Amino acid sequence: MYRYIFKRLLIMIPVLLCVSFIVFGLMALAPGDPASIILGGTAEQEQIDKLNHEFGYDRPFLIRYGDFLQNLIFNLDFGTSYRTRQPVIEEIAKRTPVSITLALCGITCAALVGIPIGVLSAVKQYSLLDTILTVSALFLGAIPPFWLGMLLIYFCSYKAGWLPSFGIDSWINYILPAASIGIIYAAQQMRYTRSSMLETIRQDYVRTARAKGAAERTVIWRHALKNALLPTITVIGSNFGALIGGAIIVESLFSIPGLGTLTITGINNRDVPQVVAATLVLAIIYCLVLLLVDILYAAIDPRVKAKFTK
């Protein structure tokens, strides 16, 4: 098992290299340059060229990429932002814990609500409860996230004055944003769990367990849930990874300084060092999360464990 984990960590390195290359390349393909944006549409070409030269932006893509790699590997330096002229890692270091917290809160809320309800719904399939829960989940899952966020701000912050609507001063500030994310992901979670449970319940071995006279509760929790959870855990892991960099709308609605808005600002400003560094950090977090998910896979499903420890 440990060999497997070590192997996975090693593989992360080429993955990260690929990510950095792709992102660097994509940014190079995109038209526009940082100096034009910083200086504005009416600045003289000479000034723009001069500023681009200061940034080193006028060199060919491969040379810039090589420089970036060299800096990263030997100096552990992620580069300097074109927009702020400061090391990019500073801003990223400040924002990463914020994004992680937000994503964790949202996903946990979604899982703790969605999974049990999904199981309940599957077990009581075709009942009125099942229909109500399923339709509610569908309903909630189709709500645009910013609409939900706005409603929450409007009712909980503006009308009722209970909760703050911006900033990250204390843990209270995270409640509304986490709810915006959590409610929508809970719906998705519930549906995945439900359908996965339904597939599992139909399997022969479950019928066998029932036939053998095992209590319904044991059948569900001990036998069925384990297998039903496999796809669900994948989804939770994927969502978490995506959320760290992807909760852009929630971040901008609630003025939360997270990695998502930082990346978008970077793209809009063609701030290549910032975008590449932010993406790398996101990639590292994402790979680690997936590793964790796969370890859980193995812990839950002995067949998978056997496969991995061959």
DSSP 8-state symbol, 172: G
Q: CB 212 → another protein: shortest distance, Å?
A: 18
Angstrom distances, CA of residue 263 to CA of 26, 161, 269, 271: 14, 32, 10, 9
As to burial, measured by CB atoms within 10 angstroms (0-12 exposed, 13-18 middle, 19+ buried), residue 71 is middle
CA distance 223 to 204: 11
Q: Which is nearer to another protein, 18 or 215 (CB)?
A: 18
Q: CB 214 → another protein: shortest distance, Å?
A: 14
Strands of 40-127, DSSP E: none
Q: CB 56 → another protein: shortest distance, Å?
A: 15
Q: Which is nearer to another protein, 66 or 139 (CB)?
A: 139
Q: CB 184 → another protein: shortest distance, Å?
A: 9
CA distance 185 to 290: 18
Q: CB 73 → another protein: shortest distance, Å?
A: 19
Q: Which is nearer to another protein, 124 or 202 (CB)?
A: 202
Contacts of 108 (CB under 8 A, 6+ apart): 182
Angstrom distances, CA of residue 172 to CA of 26, 175, 180: 38, 6, 14
Angle at 115 (CA atoms; ends 109, 116), nearest 5 degrees: 105
Q: CB 167 → another protein: shortest distance, Å?
A: 6
Q: Which is nearer to another protein, 59 or 257 (CB)?
A: 257
How many angstroms from the chain centroid is the CA of residue 187?
17
Q: Which is nearer to another protein, 35 or 117 (CB)?
A: 35
Q: Which is nearer to another protein, 27 or 179 (CB)?
A: 27
